[in-house]
Amino acid sequence: MGLKPADIAKQSAVQNLMDSIDARQQEMVDTVIAWSKVNSGSRNLEGLAKMEALVVEAFKELDPEIEYIQLADGEGVTPAGDVETLENGRSIRIFKRPEANRRVLMTGHTDTVFAVNHAFQTPTWLDDNTLNGPGVADMKGGILVMLNALRALEASPYSSSLGWEVLLSPDEETGSLGSAPILADRARAADIGMTYEPALSDGTLAGARKGSGNFVMVVEGKAAHAGREFFEGRNAVVLLAEIIGALSALTNGRPGLTVNPAVISGGVAPNVVPDKALCRFNVRLEDPSDAGWFENELQKIVAEFSVRDGFAVRLHGGINRPPKAISEANQLLMDAIADCGDELGIRVAYVPTGGCCEGNNLAAAGLPNVDTLGVRGGLIHSADEFVMVDSFAERAKLSALILMAFAAGALDDVLAAKAKEA
């Protein structure tokens, strides 16, 4: 094994690099404010292109190679229950020294959950250390943490020993359906993963994560006049109500598995028997083997209700993020990152969560990773999203030390454990 994180952190050259990150604190804040004003909702392709250009320009000083990967079109289900084609943006690969013996994949996303017509478009100061704005934490702030950590790495004596790749997706907030194959491919080419979702406001990081899937159940019946020809109709809303009960009953069918019927639509007027209705629902699961069980139960529900006279039932969607369990290699990586935090006076603690992110995808591809290395913040996916601005320099220094420690060989036990797990 090479040096320990403590040995690296004590070097005067490294301490000077940490000071240089502190000196760029205001620059990071100014940049996230500017970036936050660019709407880059997942379906706003024009806004995503603007965000892409800003990010690429910022990373050019590192003299990397850059590749753009157009994502395939996806599918969605309209409120009327019809299947529609959804155009995706493109992923960005920014990389350097891919031939190195140690390789890190750093992932993030340029999209936010806020549509182009959403009311939340402008950053606002809540106090001297709290900035409210779209994407300031999730995760335009995270991209800036990556950039400034890499700036320090490239100026360090360890840069030549590490190959790094930044992969930024335009569809993380909609489940990474288009970018999932790219995430898996690049994960297989790396040794460790670092993802820049925000940490909690107190600095806590995510450990194990549940898996997730999004589905739509569509029921087609027969329209009729609710007064003159009521019994000629087939009420899709009524049948959907039964189906929702069956879906909800699957909760706790496996330990920790939950089903959330969330969005319901159907019918056109009170005096018309509704001929179409749909329910959008989400599943969360703890064990990868539960995916097959759950999808089999869904097919049973479809088969049971499809035989009702005059009705048709269709299921769309799937499990897009497998659960992220903590392997031995992943635990060793988490411990090493906590050691780096100790050297910088940053307490690093981990908690399991039901939330999902690209870390699920990386783990499913066999890559040990920590996926909340971004800024400290909270209330993401709402108009109350905020970032603690003092965390920009703090988190960039943490990532910089992780990268240098990895390059120096201080994380080689992670690589050995990963090799055994392969």
* Contact of 199 with 373, CB cutoff 8 Å: yes
Each domain of the chain, given as residue ranges in start order, spans 5-75+86-208+323-421, 211-321
Which are the contacts of 227, defined by CB distance < 8 A and separation ≥ 6? 271
Residue 93 has a CB neighbour count (10 Å cut-off) of 18
Per-residue pLDDT tens for 175-222? Answer: 999 999 999 999 999 999 999 999 999 999 999 999 999 999 999 999
pLDDT digits (tens, 9 = 90+) for 332-363: 999 999 999 999 999 999 999 999 999 999 99
- 3-state secondary structure at position 22: helix
- Kindly tell me if the per-residue pLDDT of 1 is higher than 80: no
| The pLDDT of residue 422 | 85
CATH of domain 211-321: 3.30.70.360
DSSP for 135-161?
A: TTTTTHHHHHHHHHHHHHHHTSTTGGG
Domain 5-75+86-208+323-421 in CATH 3.40.630.10: yes
The pTM of the full predicted model, rounded to 2 decimals, is 0.94
**CA angle 372–375–378, rounded 5-degree value:** 85
254-284 tens-digit pLDDT: 999 999 999 999 999 999 999 999 999 999 9
Average pLDDT of the chain is: 96
